[in-house]
Chains A and B, each alone.
Chain A
Amino acid sequence: MLTDFGRILVFMVVSVIFVIGAILAAKLVRPSRPSKEKLMTYECGEDTIGSPWVKFNLRFYVVALIFLIFDVEIVLLIPWALVYKEFGLQGFLIGGIFLFLLGLGMAYEWRKGDLEWIRPKPVPPVLKKEPSTVKVEVQA
């Protein structure tokens, strides 16, 4: 007898086979005519400038971190949610305190501005009145 998760494994295996099978089957039909330009990275028909693999914004990690905290706390909440009714008000309060702390943490993060996606206030263009007198080299 397969366990419940065993069946899910079968599901996954079937889907992997399906996808790989479909892609391989297409290989029987599809043409393959690579060329140098075709294998270049697409960027609207222009040459790419620099690699996209750059250090990315820290903001993403902050979100991931907050998410992690929440996720862990939520995992703790599930067993509580399943059974708290058996303990009546007391049971609810235990979870309630936990939730309150979670909420407090969230409020703190909110206040701290960690929930804000970085969005620096763009300054409307201000007119520079005087023309600069710095000589700029003229390209011929």
Chain B
Amino acid sequence: MGLLDKQFAKESIVVTSLEDLLNWSRLSSLWQVGFGLACCAIEMMATSASHYDFDRFGVIPRNSPRQADIIIISGTVTLKMATRIKRIYEQMADPKYVISMGSCSNSGGPYWEHGYHVLKGVDRVIPVDVYVPGCPPRPEALLEGLLKLQEKIRNESLVKKTA
């Protein structure tokens, strides 16, 4: 049972500063599952290419989900693919995050109405942290989504939330 599985009842200086350190390290080194689905994957590649350079944020593609922290669902999730995506997500080591990139993975996108083989939103199989709209989103939009995710991680807490 590690620290990250625990929930402290009370806040204390040690807990919060440790939490800050851990959150900082997690948010600045989000390794990504090297995984592209469709059109958005090309924009994702463009984001890691020279002009936008994902590496600036510490994002590097790892091909094995075991070593990755973040999965960017970049494109249309079909029914055939959905079970695989679920498994790849499952096989990532905790803590892990999901960015849903583009209309298709947000809600089925242009294929929501007649797409008999399209999953209408990847959040039906895995929990999504950030939705990046666009079809495909500009690389900057993806980066902005990443910043939003970093913001979310920064606010994560080991302290039990009191309602």
Question: Which A positions have Cβ atoms within 8 angstroms of B?
Answer: 26-33, 35, 37-38, 40, 42, 44-46
Contacts and interface: CB of A to CB of B under 8 A. Distances in A.
Nearest to B3: A29
B87 A37 contact: yes
Interface string B75-116: 000000000111110110011000000000000000000000
A42 B90 contact: no
Interface of A is mostly: loop
Interface of B is mostly: helix
B22 interface: yes
Nearest to B4: A31
Contacts, number: 42
B140 to A, nearest CB: 30
Interface residues on B, range: 10 to 19
A37 B87 CA distance: 6
A53 to B, nearest CB: 20
Contacts of B90: 35, 37-38
A28 B64 CA distance: 24
Contacts of B85: 45
Given A42-B64, A45-B85, A37 B4 contact: no
B73 to A, nearest CB: 13
Contacts of B65: 42
A27 to B, nearest CB: 6
B83 to A, nearest CB: 8
Nearest to A38: B90
A26 B1 CA distance: 11
